[in-house]
A and B are shown apart, each in its own frame.
Chain A
């Protein structure tokens, strides 16, 4: 039999070949799970090294509904608005039971960072969670809306962050509380991520 050249088999294979649309929130669950894995390993190492315990984040304000908007002052750019809101489908809540990392997932929150910057060529979010690395969390642009977005897996608690536009403009979010502890002497904003 020459199934490789059989017309029916070729047609069947062709009908099965189109790739499904990928839901970014579903895909992000992998990275959330992996980040949780890494963080757990890191905590274990720290505890062993320093006899430390990671404090619970019960004192922090819950982030439900947290949204901040800011008009940025970049003179030559279209007005830009940054909003931060918990991602619609929190992977920490609906994690599938067979995912063995469920318990660890519960310690992370999925937070979507959005910046409206239609004229920008490249935007990244930097913060304590990625060591202020401008290459770590590049945001993706939706050409239809000019919105840049990025889903982050963050531990509950207080995070300081900023946006870097076109590798040249560093901006914080003035409507979020300004961070007093300026990392690298640059302005940052505070993001509170609630307990699950």
Chain B
């Protein structure tokens, strides 16, 4: 099933195989149009980035509904902040800055609320044990990721999943580049350790 494409602005007859978020040039046109108050352009931006933002938020918050809420709130904030957005900044790190902030505050709230709950994994694991290796591996990753300190998790995801450069990550997080490299390195070390040990043990 093709994804519904609610609004078509730039290319009315856009082919279905259009790349995930369009070209960089198209995106900067969209950002410029959205900044002038063009709601259709803004809707295109939401279309282009929603799934990616949701991926990031789900990995940060480990909970779909919290993630949806964070992403929706992020786009509303983006919309309101667009008039003050400088076009010489690049859009993506700016978007991720708002999203990461939103995820941080949601994450802090969640930690206060439920320190002992391991995000709803328990019933599934108790009921069904038809994990093949791939599923088991993904679950281990999810748990290992959730065990990281939030700033390491955030840095790891931005670098290795979202493919942001360290410069963009500095914009998105407000942290310095060497601090970010250290966070990513620590995250990698911890993930590698936990996943090689845990997953090895689980398979035996």
Contacts and interface: CB of A to CB of B under 8 A. Distances in A.
A33 B6 contact: no
Interface in B1-27: 1-9, 12-13, 20
Contact of A34 (B79, B138, B157): B79
A31 B145 contact: no
Query: Which of A23, A34, A150 has the most CB atoms of chain B within a 10 A radius of its CB?
Result: A34
A12 B6 contact: no
A19 B55 contact: yes
Interface stretch (A52-60, A67-75, A130-138, A184-192): A130-138
A143 to B, nearest CB: 6
Given A15-B137, A17-B161, A140-B6, A30 B69 contact: no
A13 interface: yes
A35 interface: yes
A35 B141 contact: no
B7 A35 contact: no
Nearest to A1: B185
Interface residues of B, number: 51
Interface string A69-104: 000000000000000000000000000101111000
Contact of B12 (A13, A16, A135): A135
Given A16-B141, A16-B157, A19-B51, A29 B196 contact: no
A149 B4 contact: yes
Interface stretch (B89-97, B123-131, B167-175, B187-195): B187-195
A9 B160 contact: yes
Classify chain A's interface size.
Answer: 35 or more
Interface string A2-18: 01001011011101111
A37 B80 contact: yes
Interface of B: 1-9, 12-13, 20, 39-40, 42-43, 46-47, 50-52, 54-55, 58-59, 64-65, 68-69, 72-73, 75-76, 79-80, 106, 137-138, 141, 145, 157, 160-161, 184-185, 188-189, 191-192, 195-196
A193 to B, nearest CB: 19
B55 A140 contact: no
Interface string A91-123: 000001011110000000000000000000010
Contacts of A18: 55
B192 to A, nearest CB: 5
A101 B72 CA distance: 11
B8 A1 contact: no
Which 6 pairs across A and B sit closest by C-beta, in order of nearness? A140-B4, A13-B160, A3-B188, A19-B51, A96-B69, A30-B75
Looking at chain A's contact residues, the main secondary structure is mixed
Contact of B46 (A31, A137, A142): A31
B45 to A, nearest CB: 10
Contacts of A142: 1, 4
Given A34-B76, A34-B79, A12 B195 contact: yes
Nearest to A11: B137
10 contacts: A15-B137, A16-B157, A20-B58, A27-B47, A37-B76, A38-B39, A96-B69, A96-B73, A142-B4, A149-B4
Query: Which of B9, B79, B188 has the most CB atoms of chain A within a 10 A radius of its CB?
Result: B188
Contacts of B7: 136-138
B51 A33 contact: no
A24 interface: yes
Contacts of A140: 4-6
A1 B190 CA distance: 13
